[in-house]
Amino acid sequence: MTNPTDHPTIQERDVQQLLDDAAAATGILPTIGQCQQLNDELRRLLADLDQQVRHRQTGLTARSRDWYAADRLLVDTGAVLAETMGLGLLSAATHVAALGRQAAAVLRWLEV
pLDDT digits (tens, 9 = 90+) for 53-92: 999 999 999 999 999 999 999 999 999 999 999 999 999 9
Whether 46 shows a pLDDT value over 90: the answer reads yes
pLDDT the model gives residue 7: 54
Whether 32 shows a pLDDT value over 80: the answer reads yes
User: pLDDT, tens digit, for every residue of 13-22?
Assistant: 699 999 998 8
HSE (side-chain half, CA atoms, 13 Å) at 74: 15
pLDDT the model gives residue 100: 97
Which bin fits 6, alpha (ψ -120 to 50), beta or left (φ > 0)?
Answer: beta
Contact yes or no for 35/85 (Cβ under 8 A):
yes
Whether 9 shows a pLDDT value over 90: the answer reads no
- Tally of CB atoms within 10 A around 73: 22
C-alpha–C-alpha distance, residues 106 and 93, integer Å: 20
Supply the mean pLDDT for the chain: 91
Q: How confident is the model at residue 28 (pLDDT cuts 50, 70, 90)?
A: confident
Please choose, from the candidates 112, 80, 66, 109, the residue with its C-alpha nearest in 3D space to the C-alpha of residue 58. Answer: 66
C-alpha–C-alpha distance, residues 50 and 44, integer Å: 10
